[in-house]
Structure 1
Amino acid sequence: MTFPGRMTEQLLPEELHHISLSFLVDHLDIRRGGVGANIAVGLGRLGLRPRLVGAAGADFSEYGAWLRANGVDTRGVLVVPELYTARFLCTTDRDHNQIASFYPGAMSRAAEIELAEVLARTGPADLVLIGPDDPAAMLRRTAECRALGIPFAADPSQQLARLTGEEINELLTGAAYLFTNAYEHKLLIQKTGLTERDILRRVGTWLTTLGPSGVRIESESGPTVDITPPRERHRADPTGVGDAFRAGFLAATVRQLPLEVSAQVGCLLATLVLEVTGTQEYTLEAEDFLGRLTEAYGPQTARQVGSHLLA
């Protein structure tokens, strides 16, 4: 929602101990989102058949149909009929100040899902991404991957503030990939009490997104690699850019493309999201995608992606 005035002008310093305010807003936009769904849609548009595992509410029917139309297998979604799907409600003023609320809803039931049961119905998994969810569900999913011997990627992101250092350490130890942004990179170190070297001993590859500067790839066994993003045609909305990077990187990785090429695919998909308003409103045309890969990273990268990912 958009409030055309300034929220700060409505706040009375002497009355901050009890606030009762109502903002008449000009616009209401309802957009599809959710980290898991955003990543799954990106994987689907790159030609994979991702399985979404999470909990949704009685209002999931229309969204579920949209996800399936975009190549996402939703058989791993637990529908909780007495609750609504998690949602983020945000009012922004003319100075881009925000007042927001997050309603977890059915997400609080995600720990009830058994990964082994989902895979028994849908087939084996090459890799499991454990993203921000109900903390109990994230810890359970990590333990299940270890028990089942399935490679997993740790992506605690928004839940880092909620998780304890011990829980974060549990989530990342043994991960094939660890995803953070630049702020989360520092927060993770602070909360766990580990050094960067300690963390790199616990994970295969650590990928840190750096906003307009691209992404940094670190591992204990190899040199640090920085990937810059492609040139953007215009900038509309950064929401969901990190999710798109993960989708592009993981899609290429599962297709066994080199690490650097996988990061380049992730950066280009992130750029497509940056150029539209909303996290899933972008389109992906193979010819245009490969052309932009060629422009940004050279014809060899485009050939590898074209033959292994978009064919």
Structure 2
Amino acid sequence: MVPTGAHGRPGGASVPGSAARTPAADTDVVCLGESMVTFLPSRPGRLADVPSFSRTIGGAESNVACALASAGHTVTWVSRVGADGFGDHLVEAVGAYGVDTSAVRRDPDRPTGVYFRTATDRATDIHEVAYYRAGSAASAMSPDNVPRDVLSGGRVLHLSGITAALSADCLALLHDLTAPRPGRPLLSFDVNHRPGLWRGREPGPEVLLELARRCDLVFVGEDEAEQVWGVRGTRAVRAALPEPDVLVVKRGAEGATVLSRTGGGRPDTVTDVPALRVDVVAPVGAGDAFAAGFLSATLRGLPVRERARHGHLMAAAVLTVPGDLTAPPARPHADRLAALDDTAWGTLRLGPGWTDEGANEEAEAT
């Protein structure tokens, strides 16, 4: 049973996993946020030394949208991009994953954001990222220029703290979207604290805490919560975020803890789900993929343990490729792995190519 939100939806409102859907809710998930053109290096080394880059796309919310669409869900991405070639590329690339991009607006006066990053140095785990997003088209999103009917028309609205950090207008938009109101979609929120984006602006920790507490499903890293709010451990994170019906605390290589409640003042059900052993190619995009896997399983009404396992599986798919995005495992393949007993799950090891029905999948005891 999927928990219902406690922030304004009436008891009969459509929620992930429920049989009834309102006529307007013909989309599973709507994702709002900035996507950027990403340039990946042709070889390891400092940005100063890399001679060429290949072009791809990246953005927390569009990553979730693309992963969910690839997994068979109906998804809409809402954003703004420049009236430039990079904007054309973003809309086409996101749309190629099966995402509805008709609600993306073009800004004639502001550019599409871009960023460059180096390949991770396996010996030192050092990498560089250079963002060129200040004054981007997406940073001009506000309560007055986004399609409100689209944002309220899905079963789930997925947001992240990155959008709140882009500008005062973007923060006003997130405050508005997370306000309690009857009939709002289930709100999914990934904290995604980016300290660099908050410099010279409102205190990010307080803003992110307020936004997270107004949502129904929240994703946050355990180390992230300690960095942002100074709280340590799952119980302390829950004490800081008592309102969300479902709180997912990601614990890195240790796994994830899901604290969920079904309403009526009942205490949390605590579900610990170990992470998989993965031969990592690049540690980027895994958090977005985890959120997509968890949301996908939530939409399907799967038990909490399976939701977290599907999150780990989607994260493993991204961790075994160089970029932020890849095709997820086919649903029957993912379902089979998610249904393994604890011993088999604990001995599973996944490497590049594993999504091809387990072509390179290894299940070996430690």
TM-score interval, normalised by the smaller of the two chains: 0.7 to 0.9
For residues 294 and 43 of structure 1, the distance between their equivalents in structure 2, rounded to whole angstroms, comes to 20
> Is 1:231–1:296's contact at 8 Å kept on the other side of the alignment?
no
The match for 1:224 among 227, 245, 270 is 270
The equivalences for 1:1-311 within 5 A come to: 1=41, 23-57=48-82, 58=84, 59-91=86-118, 95-104=124-133, 105-111=136-142, 114=145, 117-119=147-149, 124-131=153-160, 132-133=162-163, 134-136=166-168, 137-149=170-182, 150=184, 151-159=186-194, 162=198, 163-190=203-230, 196-219=237-260, 221-232=267-278, 234-295=279-340
> Is 2:120–2:126's contact at 8 Å kept on the other side of the alignment?
yes
Secondary structure, in 3 states, of the residue corresponding to 1:245? helix
1:165-184 CA distance string (max 9 Å, x none): 43223211231111111221
* 1:106 CA drift (Å): 1.8
> Is 2:114–2:131's contact at 8 Å kept on the other side of the alignment?
yes
* 1:27 CA drift (Å): 4.4
Secondary structure, in 3 states, of the residue corresponding to 2:62? helix
1:93-139 CA distance string (max 9 Å, x none): 86554443212222211225655x3425x872212111121254244
Cα 1:231–1:262 shift into 2, 3 Å? same
1:20-42 CA distance string (max 9 Å, x none): xx933244232211111110011
What is the identity percentage for the equivalent residue pairs of Structure 1 and Structure 2?
Answer: 22
> Is 2:67–2:327's contact at 8 Å kept on the other side of the alignment?
no
Cα 1:279–1:231 shift into 2, 3 Å? same
Cα 1:67–1:90 shift into 2, 3 Å? closer
> Is 1:130–1:142's contact at 8 Å kept on the other side of the alignment?
no
Secondary structure, in 3 states, of the residue corresponding to 1:101? strand
For residues 185 and 93 of structure 1, the distance between their equivalents in structure 2, rounded to whole angstroms, comes to 24
* 1:47 CA drift (Å): 1.2
1:205-261 CA distance string (max 9 Å, x none): 2212222222111247223221113443x3211200110000111122123222222
AA matched with 1:144: L
AA matched with 2:65: A
AA matched with 1:213: E
AA matched with 1:164: G
Cα 1:271–1:168 shift into 2, 3 Å? same
Unaligned runs of 5+ in 1: 8-21, 300-311
Secondary structure, in 3 states, of the residue corresponding to 1:239? coil
* 1:266 CA drift (Å): 1.0
- 2:17 is aligned to none
For residues 297 and 43 of structure 1, the distance between their equivalents in structure 2, rounded to whole angstroms, comes to 26
Q: What is the Cα-based RMSD across aligned positions, in Å?
A: 3.1
For residues 209 and 198 of structure 1, the distance between their equivalents in structure 2, rounded to whole angstroms, comes to 16
AA matched with 1:119: D
Cα 1:28–1:113 shift into 2, 3 Å? farther
How many residue pairs end up in the alignment?
279
AA matched with 2:248: L
AA matched with 1:159: R
For residues 172 and 295 of structure 2, the distance between their equivalents in structure 1, rounded to whole angstroms, comes to 21
For residues 157 and 290 of structure 1, the distance between their equivalents in structure 2, rounded to whole angstroms, comes to 28
Larger RCO (alpha carbons 8 Å, 6+ apart): 2
Cα 1:261–1:219 shift into 2, 3 Å? same
Cα 1:197–1:278 shift into 2, 3 Å? closer
> Is 1:60–1:85's contact at 8 Å kept on the other side of the alignment?
yes
AA matched with 2:57: R
Cα 1:170–1:143 shift into 2, 3 Å? farther
For residues 265 and 288 of structure 1, the distance between their equivalents in structure 2, rounded to whole angstroms, comes to 11
* 1:267 CA drift (Å): 1.0
